[in-house]
Structure 1
């Protein structure tokens, strides 16, 4: 008799069997899952290594900070050394359950998914601070499920290896805050010119608010949006009990002041210009560099105020853009404005734009004449003239008859300039212009005498500099010295590298200064006159009022100003004696009191006595940034003085919406 064995498992045996099967397959699945997603994970042993590019710090001539290009890093800060509300601000707005989750937050992920599905797009992320740290340390910005799972895996690993305080410290010392700043200390220094341990509640809220989008919520690009975001952070901090209602009210009522260096964006045109030169001089940086420049920040501030006030005043006249560049007698760039607003357009019109010079080119015609034996008193006749098939006309469409050359230049008489250029030879005029500093191509058609030549403001400043410094040619430059942070000098500008070449002798130099003084005293630039100073210069206006210029100078200091539109469309009867002269006068009225001003030198010997007109700035109540206030609207030179019609025939205009030089590098757009 056999036993009752049926071969069937008991219920307990079945449970144990299937539990084992599921467990084995689950283990196989988990091993496979982690094998798939762990493949390609970065080497976490390099956690403390920072892969950074060298930064370049730009200083003005007195050591004031202008800008920092490249990524800025600072020594890591200890969370315990910060006010308690600083790290708490990041936790409150970025990861309220930071101290309670294992690296990822299932509740936060579910909430974010629900809101994103409801909105039909991504409106919220579910990443914790630990996940953000893992992403910043080890992963690429790619958005896909594989990277998200890897992010969670690394976040769990970080939580197992470090304490919450250490993770928060790593996060705050590595995260990007915009403006090239990595870490809370670098961000604090760049945005507020202070150490992180000195941050106020409002400043901490602003920096924490940047985590949602460093560019979008930057106070540099949109102050109102940044303020709204900071207010949200303060609300979260109050709800989390990080700050009291009284602290929140105080933070909201007290304005947060962003670093003046970052807020002053016009200096960035100059920094852009010298930044290109640094690599040409020392090659690709391998360590942090400090570049000592020629720019004078108080004078730069005067230039910004002048350009801003006149462009705003004359917008109804069609003035949309402006450029200003100021050089001393050695060629050092002391101020540079490349456009009306750097935030709107980074194209540097002071350096890269090529616009017709109009009557501002006439001094080179008269220089060639003076060198050919003419004098300011040489009699000429203002009457209709035809050269080949070209008949220039005067701005007023009237003729003065017999006058002197001095009067012809002061009143910007087109007929006389055209005839004089034809008599002395347009080739000689072109050679004179090249000799004193014009580097652009100069055609020799008859209209060149009236400024049918495309030049940049920096060229015009260079070319007028010999009139201001005793006849010596200069080359504009912006870098005095380049050194490493350890003090090793990599480059230093030496005067003998350019040389002091006399390009205008006497009597032509004295004659030209006499005539150009008269332009300001009684001619087309009399709106630019400033009582008590020896000033000279020349206005310029092109056909249909597309460009307007004024280039003026005193002893050892020259400033060129241009206004117009990028699309080369006409302004509303804006002449060189109007908006440009007003900008020049506003700028120089604030700047001249800061200079060691002297009379315009009559030759090289006199120029040596002048020296550097900005060698010693006068003290002022405004301190480093006090450079004198721009005159009020009532003091701005009126736009009433006409300039002679240049009669120049413009070339084909750029396409609408393009910068002034169509062939310019599109990275400037």
Structure 2
């Protein structure tokens, strides 16, 4: 009996416990319903009483928009991508048709099921999210609509949390009135944070699967759509198990909303993560050039560095990939061995200033110093055409003006040091015209010419032609390449001569478009005449003859097209140059070691590298390839020929006094390396003419 009593008591206890459990469940369910109804009522009343509570209704136009950054992309002139300018936030906006439909469906399913039904605020969604989150014991659904989330991402609303939520809801309604659902969804997908510094679906797709957003599969899209709720917790790289759980939640939501079947959900659930970490910003093909482009655009008044790197710009450049490749091929063919000196090439279209090739042998990963635009190396005798242009502008006739080719010493006054200039091998031409001295690259003649013309006038000419970023000292040795310049500057100066004296600022940018394809920047320069076409034509005529019978013969192109050029070599063979041009292309080549004191000796079978050797070889190879298949173009005849004056050099007496010199060799020296000793003044003594003499010896030749 006691046993039966015990059993009866036990049964009653169980029934009582079950009733208590059922009661608790019923109470909990009732609480859910009450909370859901309450949240719906609150959500509905919020908008109804917002105006009275806030005092005014906010408008989109009155609220400051956030600066939403996006990567800018740089393109070559044929439309191929050269690389991305990295933004602090890795973001690459894409259009609606560039986003996988699975990504849109999965995002709506997990974030805002009634997105296509509500008008910006969804009371039912708030209720459903509250119930789902309480049931799961964690946040699995958000209460805000996608439109509200977008408002919080792109507009700055500086109120307390409760006020801000009301204002965001009001703004969301306005946003829905202005834009279509697809526009709002696309904007959201381009804005939201997906972890690992990926903002927007394109960056997320590249970050997690190394593919474009339009190519995402169902499992991949479900994974990405689940990240915005808690990007760190669901990071598939750091927490793959949690990421799979979250993906399953997204897939379940998609099944519940009818966008996928149960079979599709099961198949996607069984798919491994298969992550593939892509390049965050993609490979940059021409790192030096891309950086140069970014710096050039950042200097434009309407841009600046922040806009360049975070403006989502499409930057179309002038770089010709074919010519860029040919530049590298030419340098590699002439300098194929590890340990060879560095080389750099810049090529410019004279009629536009467009940089079509800008290459060097240096690798960006190991050394980010740009030899084409940042280096300041002495140009040797390639600077002489600038002095020649200054002389011609003053009416000095190169054919009729004679100088003494002989060792030259100059001391303007007793307080100044003596400047000594000589020619290598002690071989001189005696009395020689300025034109023939140019073909022989005679330093002693150009030293005298620089003093006659005036160093300040040479500086002025250099700056007008395009040497505008390097500081130039107005000393006589400037004519022998005393001042460091960049290959870009020298190419610009020669391009101005090729263009008949019309200067175009060198530019690497063809146009700039915003993310919507609107042009923000186009061609900016029509060119400015800086010297008369007659002056440029006379310089071109002499440099053209230099290619046929002077120091430039080694660079002469294979076809018989009009061309002009000049060699240059510095003291102790530390720098070697060749600069030249046709009417359609100006190019400069530089060779040297990073250590400016290291001489170019014994390089690829050349005992002492000079302008007429390896630089001329590279120039020849590049220009032959660059202009292959294009018809020859003649230099334009000048409309304003130079009016020569009756110039008399202050050194004319050297010619008269040398007639009786029995040991003077009067033959033209054979082309040989030009060795120019650029020297800065050692003293601050200034003569009455405003010239400060240099203090060391210059040993001459081509």
What TM bracket, shorter-length normalisation? 0.5 to 0.7
Identify the residue that residue 548 of structure 2 maps to in structure 1: 521
The answer as to 2:578 corresponding to 1:554 is no
Task: Tell me the alpha carbon deviations over residues 431-479 of structure 1, each in whole angstroms, 9 at most, x when there is no partner.
Answer: 1111211112111223212111111111111111221111111210111
Task: State which of 644, 661, 664 in structure 1 corresponds to 2:674.
Answer: 644
**CA spacing shift, 1:52–1:405, aligned 2, 3 Å:** same
TM-score of the superposition, structure 1-length normalised? 0.58
The answer as to 2:312 corresponding to 1:288 is yes
Task: State which of 516, 520, 543 in structure 2 corresponds to 1:490.
Answer: 520
**CA spacing shift, 1:57–1:518, aligned 2, 3 Å:** same
* Contact 1:421/1:429, CA 8 A, preserved across alignment: yes
Identify the residue that residue 369 of structure 1 maps to in structure 2: 391
* Contact 2:345/2:587, CA 8 A, preserved across alignment: no
- Report how far residue 66 of structure 1 moved: 3.1
Identify the residue that residue 375 of structure 2 maps to in structure 1: 353
Identify the residue that residue 384 of structure 1 maps to in structure 2: 407
> Structure 1: 5+ residue runs without aligned partners?
1-50, 81-128, 182-219, 221-261, 607-639, 653-669
* Contact 1:320/1:340, CA 8 A, preserved across alignment: yes
SS at match of 1:275: helix
**CA spacing shift, 1:397–1:297, aligned 2, 3 Å:** same
Task: State which of 567, 586, 610 in structure 2 corresponds to 1:575.
Answer: 610
* Contact 1:79/1:165, CA 8 A, preserved across alignment: no
* Contact 1:380/1:403, CA 8 A, preserved across alignment: yes
- Count of paired positions: 429
* Contact 1:323/1:339, CA 8 A, preserved across alignment: no
Alignment of 1:227-266 (within 5 A): 265=285
Identify the residue that residue 470 of structure 1 maps to in structure 2: 500
* Contact 2:344/2:487, CA 8 A, preserved across alignment: no
* Contact 1:338/1:349, CA 8 A, preserved across alignment: yes
The answer as to 2:290 corresponding to 1:271 is yes
**CA spacing shift, 1:154–1:575, aligned 2, 3 Å:** same
**CA spacing shift, 1:368–1:134, aligned 2, 3 Å:** same
Identify the residue that residue 406 of structure 1 maps to in structure 2: 435
Distance 2:499 2:270 in 1: 60
SS at match of 1:355: coil
SS at match of 2:421: coil
* Contact 2:404/2:430, CA 8 A, preserved across alignment: yes
Distance 1:337 1:651 in 2: 34
Task: Tell me the alpha carbon deviations over residues 43-78 of structure 1, each in whole angstroms, 9 at most, x when there is no partner.
Answer: xxxxxxxx9952323233333333343455774558
Distance 1:442 1:310 in 2: 32
Task: Tell me the alpha carbon deviations over residues 96-140 of structure 1, each in whole angstroms, 9 at most, x when there is no partner.
Answer: xxxxxxxxxxxxxxxxxxxxxxxxxxxxxxxxx99x989987556
* Contact 1:472/1:604, CA 8 A, preserved across alignment: no
Task: State which of 38, 41, 58 in structure 1 corresponds to 2:74.
Answer: 58
Identify the residue that residue 159 of structure 2 maps to in structure 1: none
Task: Tell me the alpha carbon deviations over residues 349-401 of structure 1, each in whole angstroms, 9 at most, x when there is no partner.
Answer: 11111111111111111112212222221222101111221102223432121
Distance 1:368 1:522 in 2: 23
- Report how far residue 602 of structure 1 moved: 3.3
Identify the residue that residue 180 of structure 1 maps to in structure 2: 281
Task: Tell me the alpha carbon deviations over residues 145-175 of structure 1, each in whole angstroms, 9 at most, x when there is no partner.
Answer: xx96x77556545455546765798966x85
**CA spacing shift, 1:521–1:446, aligned 2, 3 Å:** same
**CA spacing shift, 1:276–1:331, aligned 2, 3 Å:** same
Distance 1:396 1:580 in 2: 22
Question: Structure 1 runs of 4+ off > 6 angstroms?
Answer: 132-137, 167-170
> Structure 2: 5+ residue runs without aligned partners?
1-66, 104-219, 252-264, 412-417, 602-607, 642-669, 683-702
The answer as to 2:329 corresponding to 1:305 is yes
- Report how far residue 643 of structure 1 moved: 2.8
* Contact 1:133/1:171, CA 8 A, preserved across alignment: no
**CA spacing shift, 1:61–1:506, aligned 2, 3 Å:** closer
TM-score of the superposition, structure 2-length normalised? 0.55
